Structure 1
């Protein structure tokens, strides 16, 4: 076959003297086993996984890293585009382990997304990561920290990424704007018990999630779990502004009472919370209450 005919039929071949140089890039066939493994581990589409493996000659680690980098970049791009949308829905998440508890708020645009499993997994992850970054204190008293949105976003997750990165990745995957408006951590002394509750109550493994959340720091007997749960429900429902003391003056109108000890106990309205605490030998040291979207509503009205 003449050199002219060779060049017409095989343009990727160059003639250099009497030698033939093949210049086309070698394309490796995708390993189907690696493709299935990459798809399962990352959750990305088959076409994207196939592209990643082809680009990196079936090197699984490099293909996975490329996919994650692409997803993160696209997530930040999506997050930037959607950043102006209001996020008044979402969930509260609570994680209690040992002497430390964390409570976080993760917001989204719609209640539909708040019921999404991926969004709920994000809430659980944020709660765990905010718990993990606490610093145990030698102080025997109660330590309460409230984190701003900027501080929450800067928290480093277990894989080294910030929660801001994790949020952007979730926005890119779910396609709706989200935010991390606040979080809190409570570390208790050895003689104090931390109790958490969310309403409506749902559980993602050890993480409590719901539209409302409360953490109580109490000194109490070990066998009154149900009463402590009822107190959590009361704080969520009645939203007291302070614990108060029996000697503090009561409000003229019981419906406007803001001190916890003077409020009628939701589970038994023949008693006040103060009477229940006395009967059950419970001392409430402190509490935290979050309602999803509360902060957004305050910001918009101010």
Structure 2
């Protein structure tokens, strides 16, 4: 009789929020849940996996989850900066998009090629590309080419007035379990009436939507010359120049009159053309007509470019 009473009394006690290894029911994924997860991550500095489990075990109560996280962090010696920050992220994708007389290109990094090929990561790259294009459209003219500075990357949004991309990165790191980084972003702009932008993504994936993705990318700002080429030929010629930029990795533009200086030539217009090595790119364009190169951008995922086409 006494044992039965003791068991009933124990069962009636409230169960404290504790860490244990058994399965925990997931919270419904709502906007409020995401906001709570982000707030808990910002308040504690602990990894998203631990913040998410704290919310699950404490039934979504933010204050209780934060209190338990702080207690567990002190007891277990967890690093408040999280374990992901110190890891290297050299894999990932280059994403690019053309929209009329403007084009943007970004590099988003992760730790493994496996994650780079997941739909979740590719959706994140697409968000970054679209956010960069929105920033390009909303910004005053800054010349033909603009590379975003570090503080500007941190303030990119999904759309004008939309959510910060940094919040999407934080959530994606919790979901994918890898360090993710927006390494760089840039855009090219040309005159509407007389300009054309050649584009090419190498190792491209069959990504949904208008964003092209690969491990290399190039954008080439061109002036359309007379006599004008038909649109399909103009498109094909611009793509060939962008392919050359990816393959030959020039660092400066040079001029059509430059003479080649061997296999280590880094001036774009003086390099032997990738698809016709017996002539320079400048000579090839002069013979073809239709385009004059004004500037270019080249991104190689995980690699520090020299000069970035300056």
Shorter-chain TM-score above 0.5: yes
SS at match of 1:294: coil
Give how far 1:249 is off.
Answer: 4.5
| Contact 1:75-1:169 at 8 Å conserved across structures | no
Mapping of residues 97-246 of structure 1, within 5 Å: 97-135=99-137, 142-158=143-159, 160-190=162-192, 191-204=194-207, 205-220=209-224, 221=229, 222-224=231-233, 225-246=235-256
Give how far 1:143 is off.
Answer: 2.9
Question: 1-side partners of 2:216 and 2:40: how far apart?
Answer: 32
Q: Which residue of 2 aligns with 1:64?
A: 30
Q: Which residue of 1 aligns with 2:265?
A: 257
Unaligned ranges ≥5, structure 1: 1-7, 13-45, 53-62
Give per-residue Cα distances to partners, 1:274-294, cap 9 Å, x unaligned.
121112212011111111111
| Contact 2:200-2:218 at 8 Å conserved across structures | yes
**Alpha-carbon RMSD:** 2.9
Structure 1 stretches (4+) deviating beyond 6 angstroms? none
| Contact 1:148-1:181 at 8 Å conserved across structures | no
SS at match of 1:202: coil
Question: 2-side partners of 1:152 and 1:97: how far apart?
Answer: 20
SS at match of 1:256: coil
TM-score normalized by the length of structure 2? 0.70
Give per-residue Cα distances to partners, 1:144-184, cap 9 Å, x unaligned.
21013332121122373211111111101100001111100
SS at match of 1:231: helix
Give how far 1:186 is off.
Answer: 1.8
Q: Which residue of 2 aligns with 1:294?
A: 303
Cα 1:279/1:248, change in 2 over 3 Å: closer
Give per-residue Cα distances to partners, 1:167-223, cap 9 Å, x unaligned.
111101100001111100222212111222111122421001111111111123323
TM-score normalized by the length of structure 1? 0.72
Unaligned ranges ≥5, structure 2: 1-7, 13-23, 49-80
Cα 1:164/1:138, change in 2 over 3 Å: closer
Tell me the matched-pair count.
243
Q: Which residue of 1 aligns with 2:279?
A: 271
1:78 equivalent in alignment to 2:47: yes
Question: 2-side partners of 1:255 and 1:122: how far apart?
Answer: 38
Cα 1:85/1:137, change in 2 over 3 Å: closer
Question: 2-side partners of 1:292 and 1:169: how far apart?
Answer: 22
Question: 2-side partners of 1:86 and 1:233: how far apart?
Answer: 29
Question: 1-side partners of 2:97 and 2:154: how far apart?
Answer: 18
Question: 2-side partners of 1:292 and 1:97: how far apart?
Answer: 23
| Contact 2:197-2:238 at 8 Å conserved across structures | no
Give how far 1:47 is off.
Answer: 3.7
